[in-house]
Amino acid sequence: MPLDKIEIAKPLKQTSKMSKTILQPKIFACTNSKALGEKIAAAFGEDLGNVITSTYSDGEFQPSYEESIRGTRIFIIASTNPGPENLMELLLMLDAAKRASARHITAVIPYFGWARQDRKDKPRVPIAAKLVAKMLETAGATRIITMDLHADQIQGFFEKPVDHLYASTIFLPYLKSLNLDNLTIASPDMGGSKRAYAYSRALLSDVVICYKQRKKANVISHMELIGDVTGKNVVLVDDMVDTAGTLTKAADLMMERGALSVRAICTHPILSGDAYQRLEASKLEELIVTDSIPLTQNSPKVKVLSCANLFADVMHSVHQNKSISSNFIM
């Protein structure tokens, strides 16, 4: 038969329209971040999902999702501040979500713990930040949302997308509302100078830097001030406050050098050991933090600003595949 006589079968037309249902995202929180998770869920416009954690007598625990998450995008909110049970709970929840066939699994980590170990600073030590990144990916995270990493380059430890937020979005409006004259931004160490300069540009202020030498972890042997603070209202800027040794020593040094007042803004309030006692005894007027980590006790010197709205806005943008650039103000 000639080729021009051959009839080619045409594909059958589909008589029914295929409908594609996009399920609403679900939000869950680990035990340590339950309070923040409820605030984020409320700002997002959803209820916090139901997770039950069973604990064995030896301390082993098992989280369980008490609702279907098949085919949905889920957000798991968990700060991974030490001890290790906070990180372990997040890993177990990621693994459970992966095995329950969730479509997208986003780990929302307001405080990314173990981040101070981001490089080998001496022989025979681990790079814990990279290890944690690999564990999160292996457990099932398909995206990470975090805030004010101890070092920006930690983003490079992940192969999955990382949305790195900055608490300056929260702190700058509050600082401007104080209407401080002769404002000066200070970094408590050389490593935070980039962050201090960013704040100074936004506030059109001067910058001073503290130079410190450590005897060992959390112990400062010497501190010196680079710059003039005479007659200035100083705001110290850092990503975290642990024992508050650096902040309180810097505040006392600046008051000795003629500063009018010293405040501090720190994104993550770890506040371990004798931190609260140091704050009360210091000349620091106010410590402004976020609720990325729940406080262990109240203090009249500690002012908490919530990061819930920031995370909820970014989570909305992620779910709708929109840009998050509008959430950065410097």
Q: Which CATH architecture has domain 26-165+310-327?
A: 3-Layer(aba) Sandwich (3.40)
Rg (CA), the chain: 24
**Region 65-82 average pLDDT:** 96
DSSP 65: E
Q: Do domains 26-165+310-327 and 168-306 have the same CATH topology?
A: yes
Q: Give, in words, the CATH class of 168-306.
A: alpha beta
- Residue 222: band (very low, low, confident or very high) from pLDDT cuts 50, 70, 90: confident
| Torsional class of 101: left (φ above 0), alpha (ψ -120 to 50), beta (otherwise) | left
SS3 308: helix
The two tokens of residue 276 are: 């609260």
pLDDT of residue 9: 52
The DSSP line for 253-274 is HHHHTT-SEEEEEEEEE---TT
255, pLDDT greater than 50: yes
Catalytic residues: 212
240, pLDDT greater than 90: yes
Q: How is the chain split into domains, by residue range?
A: 26-165+310-327, 168-306
pLDDT of residue 7: 55
76 with 29: CB under 8 angstroms?
yes
**Region 25-37 average pLDDT:** 97
- pTM of the predicted protein model: 0.89
Closest listed residue to residue 284, CA positions, set 255, 256, 258? 255
Task: State pLDDT tens for residues 307-326.
Answer: 999 999 999 999 999 999 88
pLDDT of residue 215: 58
**Region 22-38 average pLDDT:** 94
Task: State pLDDT tens for residues 140-172.
Answer: 999 999 999 999 999 999 999 999 999 999 999
188, pLDDT greater than 50: yes
225, pLDDT greater than 80: yes
pLDDT of residue 15: 43
**What is the side-by-side strand order in the sheet with 302-305?**
219-226, 206-216, 183-187, 233-241, 261-269, 286-290, 302-305
Q: Which residues pair with 264 in a beta bridge?
A: 236, 287
279, pLDDT greater than 90: yes
CB-CB neighbours of 139 under 10 Å: 18
pLDDT of residue 327: 82
Higher pLDDT, 6 or 16: 6
Task: Tell the burial category of 43 from Cβ atoms under 10 Å away from its Cβ (0-12, 13-18, 19+).
Answer: middle
The two tokens of residue 191 are: 């490593």
pLDDT of residue 18: 41
Identify the H or E element spanning 248.
helix 245-256
133, pLDDT greater than 90: yes
The DSSP line for 178-208 is H--SSEEEEESSGGGHHHHHHHHHHHT-EEE
